[in-house]
Homo-oligomer: A and B are copies of this chain.
């Protein structure tokens, strides 16, 4: 696979994505933000959430399921909370604006939580969490729900989404701690990778149509919560997914996962929900003390003795920082099937692609 994968410069991919959204009728700002977040996934090595999903977003827009001129608005607000309605606009700019406002309010009051209803798939949760790192002394958190894919412990069918949580915490000299994870054992992209490679998946990742464990990626229709098996406490992953669901569904006033619409099932507005938090470190403790304390822990972890057979101990976010350094310098490695599809999309839409 490696030899047939083409490296495309970040700028060329970004220009194409931006042109696609402009062509579809999105405003310059909506297009710019959506492109920024979408390409960030590819830059960070989270290939399942970047340009590989461009056609998904395009299809939703072309079917009239997304509002490209939304009235993004505040529903209710207090000094430390704010609830938004995204008016069925693209998820990326809705989430970007909600997190930006959440950060501004946290800078004023020390802490803020923001929710968004009537939104759409927003790409990688980690993008919004790491926005907080652009401000000195701020931490960020982002969550979303999505279509039902995850089967609660003991159940047979998916009721919950992969319900990702992302957290970004700054350090001093050390690289920051950036967690960006689905609360399912794996994201659906891992099943698609196995399908493309025609290889079996580990027992515990996915379930078949009867809710039974399968190692056949083509028989897989749903995912397990983190923990994978009841014996390994999958009820905890299920509980975490439910927590994310409550904030993004019930608290935000969006649909809850079972009723979020996406690529499967009936075509209707998605009503995805998101939740965000930001907080000032110096509301709790002097920033310099915190950063030194983070450095101490992250350094100890990164230099910890590995177990036999392992190369090194990583801190969450390290693989993404390493992918980013490589990809900004050498371009995004695009899978041939994805590249082929992007070129087909360029032809269909009449939007030129410089790759």
Q: Spell out A's residues near B (CB within 8 Å).
A: 75-76, 78-81, 83, 109-113, 115, 139, 151-157, 159, 165, 167, 169, 177, 179, 181-183, 185-186, 202, 204-205, 210-212, 226-228, 230-233, 235-240, 242-243, 245-246, 249-253, 256, 258, 279-281, 283-285, 289-290, 293-294, 296-297, 300-301, 304-308, 310-316
Partner of A80, one of B109, B139, B212, B281: B109
Residues A252 and B285 in contact, CB atoms below 8 Å apart: yes
Nearest CB in chain B to that of A114: its residue: B284
Complex Cα–Cα for A235 and B316 (A): 8
Residues B285 and A185 in contact, CB atoms below 8 Å apart: no
Q: A226-B236, A316-B239 are in contact. Are A152 and B301 (CB under 8 A)?
A: yes
CB-based closest 4 A-B pairs: A154-B310, A211-B307, A78-B110, A239-B316
- The A interface, classified by DSSP as helix, strand, loop or mixed, is mixed
Partner of A307, one of B185, B210, B296: B210
Q: A245-B297, A305-B156 are in contact. Are A284 and B115 (CB under 8 A)?
A: yes
Chain B residues whose C-beta falls within 8 Å of the C-beta of A280 in the assembled complex: 81
Residues B112 and A154 in contact, CB atoms below 8 Å apart: no
Residues A236 and B284 in contact, CB atoms below 8 Å apart: no
Partner of A111, one of B111, B186, B284, B289: B111
Residues A297 and B258 in contact, CB atoms below 8 Å apart: yes
Residues B204 and A246 in contact, CB atoms below 8 Å apart: no
The winner among A80, A251, A281, A285 for most chain B CB atoms within 10 A is A80
